[in-house]
């Protein structure tokens, strides 16, 4: 089955800095890669996703890049704000079974 590794587990940045979270996956059949944001005590919410026929996707301050050859994808947050503080999960979908999630990255943005 699919295996997703996510790094780092914790990331601390100053407000205004950029943050990058990286994930690698094992199954080359994976073709859909969503990112979820989970604030403390709340539900995971989809913030951006990318499909295998696209190398990069942007939505305001958030971008995701995908390298299918290397089997890794990354979340980039620019101009971080304190409200970006949360746990971020990456996931991969191999077209069978279900989404496999990484273990999460706790992002802390200090004012």
Partner 1 sequence: DSGVTQTPKHLITATGQRVTLRCSPRSGDLSVYWYQQSLDQGLQFLIQYYNGEERAKGNILERFSAQQFPDLHSELNLSSLELGDSALYFCASSQDSGHPSDTQYFGPGTRLTVL
Peptide bond into 44 cis (omega under 30): no
Identify the residue among 34, 64, 66, 86 touching partner 1 (CB under 8 A).
Answer: 34
List Cβ neighbours of 61 (8 Å cut-off, separation of 6 or more): 77, 78, 79, 80
Cβ neighbour number for residue 65 with a 10 Å cutoff = 17
**Contacting range for partner 1; rule: CB under 8 A; set: 19-27, 59-67, 68-76, 101-109:** 101-109
Bridge partners (DSSP) of residue 65 are: 56, 74
Shortest Å, Cβ 33 to partner 1: 9
Single residue of 16, 46, 54, 61 touching partner 1 by CB under 8 A: 46
Contacting residues toward partner 1, per CB under 8 A: 31-32, 34, 36, 42-46, 49, 51-52, 89, 93, 95, 97-104
């Amino acid at each position: 089955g699919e295996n997703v590794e996510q790094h780092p587990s914790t990331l601390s940045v100053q407000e205004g800095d950029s943050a990058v979270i990286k994930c690698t996956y094992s199954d080359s059949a994976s073709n859909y890669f969503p990112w979820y944001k989970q604030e403390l005590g709340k539900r995971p919410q989809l913030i951006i996703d990318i499909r295998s026929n696209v190398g990069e996707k942007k939505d305001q301050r958030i971008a995701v890049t995908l390298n299918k050859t290397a089997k890794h994808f990354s979340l980039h947050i620019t101009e971080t704000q304190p409200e970006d503080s949360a746990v971020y999960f990456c996931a991969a979908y191999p077209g069978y079974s279900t989404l496999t999630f990484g273990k999460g990255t706790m992002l802390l943005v200090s004012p």
